Amino acid sequence: MVKATLSPDLIARFAAIVGPAQALVDDGDIAPYLIESRGLYHGVSPLVLRPGTVQEVADILALATETRTAIVPQGGNTGHVGGSVPREEAADVVLSLSRLNRIRDIDPVGNVIVADGGCVLADIQAQAEAVGRLFPLSLGSEGSCQIGGNLSTNAGGTAVLAYGGMRQLCLGLEVVLPTGEIWNGLRRLKKDNTGYDLRDLFIGAEGTLGVITGAVLKLFPRPLGHEVAFAGLQSVKDALALFERASSRCGTALTGFELMPRLGVDFTTRHIPGVRDPLATVHDWYVLIDISTSDAAETATRMMEALLSEGLEAGLVEDAVVAASEEQRKALWHMRESMSPAQKPEGGSIKHDVSVPVSAIPDFMAEADTAVMAAIPGARICSFGHMGDGNIHYNISQPVGADKQAFLDRWREMNHLVHGIVLKYHGSISAEHGIGQLKRDELAAVREPIEMDLMRRVKRAFDPAGIMNPGKVLTA
């Protein structure tokens, strides 16, 4: 069992590893590390450690295993499922990676960048751009989320359709194990069949098996052509039909295909400064289409024009606008990325990060809408997301005038309802946000017993003392 309290002597031993200035014990200093971005989870901790080297991380974990002290690795703390904050009932030590923020190497010929786990995603993007390359992971939180956290949650984002998620964007890892051993797997090889792929065990493990301190990430040539369009449609079925045409016509040049409801556009134009409706008329549904080409700008322009013309002729597209500048392209993406925070001023919102097979999206959404409206008449469903990879953020805003807390008290009930329909369509209850605390108990209910047993065996093999992020992903 891990410790429920920490003695002053043990705190002093941990502090000696990083130095007093990087061992936070005052309540005011610790407070920002205790609450996750949505405010659903608020933990407690007697100590936050901010190591500056990989060896310091190793020394911390070795001492934690020796003393059975629970460790919660934390990056930018931008998660949505309570995976990066300490528990309420224990004395977990928070291990912040924010000082491990060095770019170790960048190789534009080999198309790789080697970075510390605490590097901010936006900094990785900027470093890649400076050498004429692209790191395609893009998230609303990219200005504060960190690479180690992106890897630990197998982050997806808006470009999975073309480039894949973090699992596909990573070639190698450096990980500190719970015992304090350091595994250097910073390989830059695209082909390497030498035994088990240990890398994939740590990606998506949410800090329960070790601490990711470094990574080799893939880079790509920057596109020469880039077009972004915003189109109004009548239905989700029409959006799916347009996606099929876009995928066939554009192939790998289709780098984004985002689905948005009218309600989401209303929320963003109402609450997000500077956001306006790009179209003159109102439509029930919208898609944001992103096309990038590597040969010439004219290629992307021709593809977009042909796709929209085809969509209009087929009656799938009611109206559309194509961004005429980089500023307009960013404005269209800003609307899409603001859709989730724009719900907050509307009161309580019950969130679902789910995925279903792309072809099943219209039927899933229709069935879920019917069930939710029957359970909560007047609920405002704001479902949007990455149609190209099947990831839908099925969010439910409270009815106008409803009691916020009474609505939020039905979170688990609504999760059970929506997730049941997701599973009917052979989908996943967690597409890109992870399991954390929020979906831990539900995970055990939806995965096969053999799968849960295998996960627990892996956990015991890597972390026999049970110190790594306890209470997350797996039940006790």
Which distant-in-sequence residues (6+ apart) come within 8 Å of 370 by Cβ? Answer: none
- Comparison of pLDDT for 157 and 397, the residue scoring more: 397
Check pLDDT > 90 for residue 476. Answer: no
The distance of Cα 346 from the centroid of its chain, to the nearest Å, equals: 23
- Strands 93-96, 47-49: pairing kind: parallel
First to last CA, the chain: 11
Strand partners, 133: 221
* Predicted local confidence at residue 89, as pLDDT: 85
In 3D space, the residue among 65, 56, 76, 176 whose CA is nearest the CA of residue 119 turns out to be: 76
Check whether 420 has a pLDDT greater than 60.
yes
- pTM given for the model: 0.93
Structural contact between residues 327 and 317, judged by C-beta atoms closer than 8 angstroms: no
**Three-class SS state of 5:** coil
Ranges 294-298, 401-405, 411-415: which has the least confidence: 294-298
pLDDT above 90: residue 66:
yes
Which H/E stretch holds residue 20? none
Q: How large is the angle between the packed helices 361-375 and 236-250, nearest 10 degrees?
A: 160
Average pLDDT over the chain, rounded to an integer? 95
- pLDDT bracket for residue 445 (50, 70, 90): confident
Whether residue 467 is predicted with pLDDT greater than 70 in this model: the reply is: yes
Q: Which element (helix H / strand E) includes 27? A: helix 27-30
Reply yes or no on whether the pLDDT at 3 is more than 60.
Answer: no
Confidence of residue 114 (pLDDT cuts 50, 70, 90): very high
Instruction: Sketch out the chain's domains with CATH numbers.
Output: 8-96 (3.30.43.10), 103-221 (3.30.465.10), 225-337 (3.30.70.2190), 347-436 (3.30.70.2740)
Q: How confident is the model at residue 1 (pLDDT cuts 50, 70, 90)?
A: low
Distance of CA 53 to the CA centre of its chain: 26
Q: From CA 280, how far away is CA 287, in angstroms rounded?
A: 15
Tokens of 145: 């989320």
Summarised one tens digit per residue, pLDDT across range 117-162 is: 999 999 999 999 999 999 999 988 899 999 999 999 999 988 999 9
How much of the chain, in percent, has pLDDT values that exceed 70?
A: 99
Res. 70: pLDDT tops 70:
yes
271 pLDDT tier (thresholds 50, 70, 90): very high
Please report where in the chains the tokens 């982050």 appear, as a residue: 155
